[in-house]
Amino acid sequence: MTKHSVPTSIAIEQLKAQLRESLYLDLDEYGLEEQSSGEFNSSFLGLQLNSAFQPIYDSEAGDLFGHEAFIRPSLGGQQAINPEFAFSFAGQVGKLVKFDRVVRTLHVLNFRQIYAENGLLFLNVHPNLLMSVNAHGKVFERILHANSVPTHRVVIEIQESVVEHEHQLADAIENYKERGYRIAIGNFGSKHSHLERLWKLAPEFVKLDIGLIKEAERNTRMRKILPRLIQLIHDIGAQPVITGIESQTGLDIAVESGTTLLQGYFLGRPVTAKELQPTQALKPSLQLNKRAAA
């Protein structure tokens, strides 16, 4: 046994006690269970919840940069449910905070199987919970510490299209940063986007709307604009992430635009932790593009 090896039954009981006593989270109440594969899932509000992770690659470093976590709700593991519907339902029955808490816990428990000590975890935060940093955020911080995931490996991803109260959001982001979290603004480049807002919020990452790369594949004008947008993001001190890459053409355009962080179905679909290798090399298609750009 390695120094990290603990019999599963003992580890589960330790985890249950820790979450129940320190984190106000009852594994039995939330139906959080470990499967034979080593993954965790949950049964909550009549739904089965599973984690899925999509890789984000760094073409310059030639390695994985991190993963974005997605929740996969279903009825009995068979009929898939829209995640937005699941969160909406949790809100309607007054369980949104608990639902979000178990989702984040689920992602953290499963994320441990992907990386031992490296790589970032991108977590989307429900817009109604963005301001709940002090109470809700502290509980999540304990969950991270209980599972040896430091806050600097967690990227809080905020969708720009849902931002309504900029001043309160700026305060919440500052609070997250003070606790060591990193910040990403998602869906930038959609009709709701404001460059001035990026300057104010000062995120570490800016994830471009998936429609931009698709439009660049069809429209040569957009293909010329994309590098300028990438440069603007660099100018505010953030790292751009091009998302929605679904073809070799899209990948070529993304690499030529001047960014190195890349995400999309062409590079890897969201899959469960057990389907990911503990360590993953850069995809061959990215290696070829890296050499071509050199």
Go through the domains of the chain in sequence order and give each one's CATH number.
Answer: 49-72+81-293 (3.20.20.450)
Where is pLDDT greater, at 25 or 145?
A: 145
| Residue-level pLDDT at 162 | 62
Which residues share a beta bridge with 207? 241
Check residues 79 and 193 and name the one with the higher pLDDT. Answer: 79
Asked if residue 217 lies in contact with residue 253, where contact means CB atoms within 8 angstroms, the answer is yes
User: For position 39, what pLDDT does the model report?
Assistant: 85
In the predicted model, is pLDDT for residue 277 greater than 60? Answer: no
Cα 240–Cα 57–Cα 186 angle in degrees, nearest 5: 35
- The candidate with the shortest Cα–Cα distance to 126, out of 94, 162, 154, 95, is 162
pTM tops 0.95, yes or no: no
Nearest-angstrom CA–CA distance, 280 and 140: 28
List residues bridging with 122 in a β-sheet: 68, 155
Residue pair 266/231 in contact (Cβ under 8 Å)? The answer is no
Report the pLDDT value the prediction gives residue 76, as an integer from 0 to 100: 76
Which pair of tokens denotes residue 125?
Answer: 């935060």
